[in-house]
Amino acid sequence: MSNRLRDEIKQTRPFASTEQEAFLSLGRTWAVLEHALAEALKPHGITPTQYNVLRILRGAGERGLCRGEVVERMIARVPDATRLLDRMETAGLIARERSSEDRRFVTTHVTEEGLRLLVALDDVVLAAHRQQFTALDEAELRRLIELLDLVRAPA
């Protein structure tokens, strides 16, 4: 059994279970990967969460999405999506449009400025991901994806 995680988090006692070690290892891995992505995005003035929203809206195309649909598709849930979208709208990255038929329904779209930023970030993010997973070959990456799918399935 590897002591690397225990060393990284400076834990002196054994884990309570293999499941606990796996859970903490996933959390630590996510934190390390997200920090590296945040550092790659920082020069462009955007956070990983904002990048995720722009990516989602680009994928939605011209029809856009309502706030709830954006939240459902996010990699990590945020406690206040409305404020996140407010900040992104103020920055000119997204636009929101209220329905004329039902004023309660607001559709969110990525703006031209948001699309330009995404295009500029496509290679940056791809390079960051390639660097993050350089220790794994294609077959190992596929197996990792399959294992993570299995872990998420009961949730």
pLDDT digits (tens, 9 = 90+) for 44-75: 999 999 999 999 999 999 899 999 999 999 99
Helices 81-90 and 48-60: angle between axes, nearest 10 degrees: 80
Query: What's this model's pTM, rounded to 2 decimal places?
Result: 0.88
Cβ 57 vs Cβ 51: under 8 Å = no
CATH of region 4-152:
1.10.10.10
Q: Which residues contact 127 (CB under 8 A, 6 or more apart)?
A: 40
Is the pLDDT at 1 greater than 80, yes or no? no
Tell me how far apart the 2 most distant CA atoms of the chain are, in Å.
61
What is the per-residue pLDDT across 118-153, written as a single tens digit (0 to 9) for each?
999 999 999 999 999 999 999 999 999 999 999 999
